[in-house]
Each structure stands twice: as C-alpha cells, then as structure tokens.
A and B are shown apart, each in its own frame.
Chain A
Amino acid sequence: GQSLEQPSEVTAVEGAIVQINCTYQTSGFYGLSWYQQHDGGAPTFLSYNALDGLEETGRFSSFLSRSDSYGYLLLQELQMKDSASYFCAVTSDPSNTGKLIFGQGTTLQVKP
C-alpha cells in the first residue's frame, strides 16, 4: 500500500519557525513535493526534493532523507498569510512522475 503521514494540525506564532514532518511508505519513490492550500482553494506548488538534503526557497525550505523515508517543510519568519493547509506528495512511479500521492494535509494556524 501507499501511505503518507503528516500531523493534522500545527499552531505557531507570527515570526516563529515551524517544521511540518512527512513520513511515507510507498511501493517506489522518485521525489517528494510540498503544496500549500488556502481554504480549499487551488493548491500551490512550494518545493520538490528528489535527492537527500535541504532545498531553500526564500522563507520556505524542504528536506528529504530517502533512507529514513522522511521529509519536512520548514517555514521561517511566519506570517499570518501562512495560515493554510500544507500537503506532502510523493511521486512513486518513475514511468509516471506526474502522478502525485498526497498526504492528508497539515493545517497550520499562525497566531499574532
């Protein structure tokens, strides 16, 4: 089977740093993506890791450890607008790298 585990909710204060973890069990692995979704709107691509290590894009960073089947999204200098749902997604089929398997999502609430 295929499964991805994320915490269901995380709360943090404005200006803080928060880490959202994702562990996965899939029949194959090609890469890990992160998406943001506000209030059921269109999900927005944030980052992608195919190799071990940290990828940084502005205030957001994403980490992958293939040997541990684990990744995380790090959000720095939190802003109120970062309140949203965050989904990790695995590409498990190298012959179909567009097929994303999504986790259930983590709802991040940023408080003043």
Chain B
Amino acid sequence: NAGVMQNPRHLVRRRGQEARLRCSPMKGHSHVYWYRQLPEEGLKFMVYLQKENIIDESGMPKERFSAEFPKEGPSILRIQQVVRGDSAAYFCASSPDSRPYEQYFGPGTRLTVT
C-alpha cells in the first residue's frame, strides 16, 4: 500500500530555469495539496486540486507558479524562471474524501536554486 510519492527528492536548478515537481497521491485519494516549507518554519499552503480541477490556489504566487492534476498521471507543480527565493522544500499531501484534514504527506522535493 504505497504512500504519497514525490519525485525528484532533490532538484537543483540555476536561476531562470524551470522546475517540475511530481506527486502521486495515495491510492484511493482524489484530493491533492501542495505546501512549501522554508527551514525552521511551518508549512505554507499553496494549492488544492482534485482530478482535472484546481479547487483553491489562494496560496500560489500569481506569477511563475502553476499546478495541475490531470485525469491520468501525477500532479505537477511547475515553477518557471526560478529565483533564489524559490529554494525550499515542497511537500505534496493527499487525503480521503471524508476527512480532508487528515492529510498524508510525501517525502518532499528539496529545490535548490543556484
């Protein structure tokens, strides 16, 4: 019974490049959330998706960031033209329909922008 999968675990990008982060939710979960965490800080909500729909993107920066959860395949968080300030750990989580507050997190992707 696989948990939430994220890849890559570590990603290094130079300023101006694009970063693509992938997340496969737990089997049976149709709700996916993305969070960002800076060192020594809490997790910051970015976006909530269901299959083919963005439900809430109130935590996403308006520019350069986008997310999708297609009918087939993993959820993707895309960051265009990365800057040093994008360096962080990005966590994906999924939840069962009946308990959205009970979120199961993946191991995270550590993004480093050089």
Chain A residues within 8 Å of B, Cβ to Cβ: 4, 31, 33, 40-45, 48, 87, 89, 91, 93, 96-105
Contact = CB atoms under 8 A, between A and B. Distances in A.
Contacts of B22: none
Contact of A100 (B39, B99, B103, B107): B103
Given A96-B56, A98-B31, A98-B95, A45 B42 contact: no
Contacts, number: 72
B58 to A, nearest CB: 8
B27 to A, nearest CB: 17
Interface residues of B, number: 31
A103 B42 CA distance: 6
Interface of B: 4, 31, 33, 35, 37, 39-45, 48, 55-56, 58-59, 89, 91, 93, 95, 99-108
B43 A33 contact: no
A63 B55 CA distance: 30
A4 to B, nearest CB: 8
